[in-house]
Amino acid sequence: MKRILLLIPLLLAAAIAQAQTLLPKGDSLLAGDPVNAFALRVEPHAKDNVKFETVDLAGPGFTRGWRVATLQDTSPMAAIELRGVNSRPVVAGEVALMRFFARATEISDETGAARVLLFIRRNGVDWNSSFEGDFPITREWQEILVPFVWTQDFDKDGAAFMLRFGFKRQTVEIGGVEVIHYGKTQTWAELPRTKFSYKGREADAAWRKAAFGRIEKIRKGDFAINVVDAAGKPVSDAKVVVTQTRAAFQWGSALQMQRLVVDSPENRRYREITEELFNAAGPENDLKWPVWAGEWGAGFSQEQTLAGLRWLKERGFHTRGHVFVWPGHKNLPKPIQERIGTAKQNEIPEMVHAHIREIARATKGLLDEWDVLNEPFTNFDLMKIFGDEVMAPWFKVAREELPGVALYFNDFSNHDATTDADHVAHFEKTTRYLLDHGAPVDGLGMQVHFNGRPNAPENILAVLDRYQKQFALPVRMTEFDVWTMDEELQADFTRDFLILSFSHPSVVGVQHWGFWESTHWRPPAAMYRADWSEKPNARVYKDLVLKKWRTNLEGATDAGGRFAQRGFHGEYSVVVEAGGRRIEKTFSLTPAAGAAELTVTLP
């Protein structure tokens, strides 16, 4: 027995060692022990935001490494940095590879992952990088392999390998760091690189087949066009052209109101794509309380916001407001922040109610729904001060002001109970609390920010089933994006996320959190590059939303003057032609109304 027990650690060590990818031999570009080859650099304003340690780690093939704790949300990303330099000269066009292993032990980001940003560039100020990469770090050890080509010559110590941690609160452990120089002995394409995937991506995935079946059942309805003459007799063999002009399902994006109302070539293109792709939208930042109060300065104003909302309503967009109350200290306006912890603190609840009333009245008639409460899992300062009972009145005040507007509770990382069970449970608990205390919650918002390690579609569907069973409330995907530089992965997951969302009966819409790289909060997540070229995820979106999930038919009436078909819910135009006569009509196909019947009388 002792012999067996002694073998177990050896077997485990062997298994861990085997987890490393076998790399071609090359020369190290780090001087000495890699753990000691990097130095911590912290900007003065962030000196209290980080805890850095060299620690023992039982990782894949290494026993020592770093633990970097970002103790509070920090920006810019370069505010906390580990930097190493090249130990020998390199020449432009030569090939190298950097490897490291990383895992997160604390995560606060909406995507469910910590972040490490890697820059390989001049050891100084220089934007000409040999590599830039933003890596999502999950709770399991993962090997990061980064082959790259030097873009310029560097003397010894002239290049820097920069690992940056200036992000949201997180703790990351890193070990097994190597930088290997291959010169011209290897090409970039020959070297291994980190590529991520997700369960359910395979072409024949069973979940996708089932989802398509649900789409056919729940997103379509029957319709019939009956063509008669002036005497009411059926007209056979009449040509019928049916064109879907608008989807009932709400496909949207968060937008910048300035780009809807300020004229420029870029803004005109922005508006053109908005109208082409979407039938729903809402301001990305313009309705947040500090922004509405004028604290964000140039580029934002109440007049501009209202003009942007009018632009949307004039074009028939479903519009949503974000957000009445984001109850974390940093997301509250200065007059609220200044009262916290003072004798005037008791004024805050009424100030919140007054804000809800004021902005609701200012935007009345321009918005179809509002996020009332946003992100209480991590933004709970007002609840910490005044108790959870402060939340339900926010919904009640909003309902008093906006009786016909849907009111939502919105949060992040509530889409997969296998990766963030605490967040899902908190979302359920908070929703139940609100409903039990009379809050008129009309819908649930799932932000659905994803990283380069997307969640399995089946896991997301399982959470949607949970919410539907417990609350039977509409669900909107409110801030969808996929942050990764792997555009193939991004496109595949975009496809699958749209499919799973469209297939679930509780989901009423999907709102992207931006679409253009130049205005996106995470540029690699955009659908359009800065030069307006389409990325693969944009092509996937257009193929599904504007083609496969639109009904456009052409045919002829039967002997009874009837043209009966099945189509996706939405608005339609119909053109009927017979004997030189032409009539154009419209009709709606909705789940609530059931089958649609339209009679067209030819003169």
Over residues 341-356, mean pLDDT: 98
Where is average pLDDT lowest: 5-19, 27-41, 355-369?
A: 5-19
**Which DSSP state fits 382?**
H
Percentage with pLDDT > 90 across the chain? 86
| pLDDT exceeds cutoff 60 at 528 | yes
CATH number at residue 175: 2.60.120.260
| pLDDT exceeds cutoff 90 at 132 | no
- Are residues 281 and 175 part of one domain? no
Q: Name, in order, each residue with C-beta under 8 angstroms of 544's C-beta and a sequence gap of 6 or more.
A: 495, 498, 499, 502
Mean pLDDT over the full length of the chain: 94
Residue 34 lies in a domain: yes
Over residues 371-400, mean pLDDT: 98
Residue 218 lies in a domain: no
pLDDT, residue 13, reads 36
- Are residues 161 and 45 part of one domain? yes
- Are residues 167 and 32 part of one domain? yes
Residue numbers of the domain that contains 506: 277-538
CATH number at residue 381: 3.20.20.80
Residue 78: name the closest of 119, 129, 130, 37 by CA: 119
How many domains does the chain divide into?
A: 2
Residue 290: name the closest of 251, 235, 350, 334 by CA: 334
- Are residues 523 and 381 part of one domain? yes
pLDDT, residue 557, reads 98
Q: Name, in order, each residue with C-beta under 8 angstroms of 497's C-beta and a sequence gap of 6 or more.
A: 448, 450, 454, 457, 460, 477, 480, 482, 510
Residue 18 CB coordination number (10 Å): 10
Transcribe 504-537 into DSSP letters. STTEEEEEES--BGGG-SSGGG-SB-TT-PBPHH
Contact 391, 376 (CB under 8 A): yes
Residue 198 lies in a domain: no
Over residues 339-351, mean pLDDT: 98
- Are residues 138 and 281 part of one domain? no
- Are residues 37 and 177 part of one domain? yes
Domain boundary among 516, 538, 560: 538
pLDDT in tens, 156-189: 999 999 999 999 999 999 999 999 999 999 998 8
| pLDDT exceeds cutoff 60 at 190 | yes
Residue 34 CB coordination number (10 Å): 21
pLDDT, residue 8, reads 37
pLDDT, residue 183, reads 97
| pLDDT exceeds cutoff 60 at 436 | yes
Q: Is 88 exposed, middle or buried (0-12, 13-18, 19+ CB in 10 A)?
A: middle
Domain boundary among 156, 172, 190: 190
pLDDT, residue 12, reads 35
pLDDT in tens, 546-574: 999 999 999 999 999 999 999 999 999 99
Domain boundary among 481, 514, 538: 538
Contact 601, 226 (CB under 8 A): no
Determine the Cα–Cα distance for residues 269 and 278; give it in Å rounded to an integer.
14
Residue 203 lies in a domain: no
pLDDT in tens, 197-251: 899 999 999 999 999 999 999 999 999 999 999 999 999 999 999 999 999 999 9
Higher pLDDT, 452 or 272: 272
pLDDT, residue 16, reads 40
Residue 408 lies in a domain: yes
- Are residues 323 and 438 part of one domain? yes
Q: Name, in order, each residue with C-beta under 8 angstroms of 336's C-beta and a sequence gap of 6 or more.
A: 348, 351, 352
- Strands 142-149 and 449-450, by their bridges, are unpaired
Grade residue 148 by pLDDT with cuts at 50, 70 and 90. confident
Residue 255 lies in a domain: no
pLDDT, residue 4, reads 38
pLDDT in tens, 576-589: 999 999 999 999 99
Percentage with pLDDT > 70 across the chain? 97
Where is average pLDDT lowest: 13-22, 162-171, 421-430?
A: 13-22
Contact 226, 587 (CB under 8 A): no
- Are residues 453 and 309 part of one domain? yes
Residue 556 lies in a domain: no
Over residues 449-468, mean pLDDT: 94
pLDDT, residue 127, reads 60
pLDDT, residue 9, reads 38
Residue 484 CB coordination number (10 Å): 23
Residue 491 lies in a domain: yes
Grade residue 339 by pLDDT with cuts at 50, 70 and 90. very high
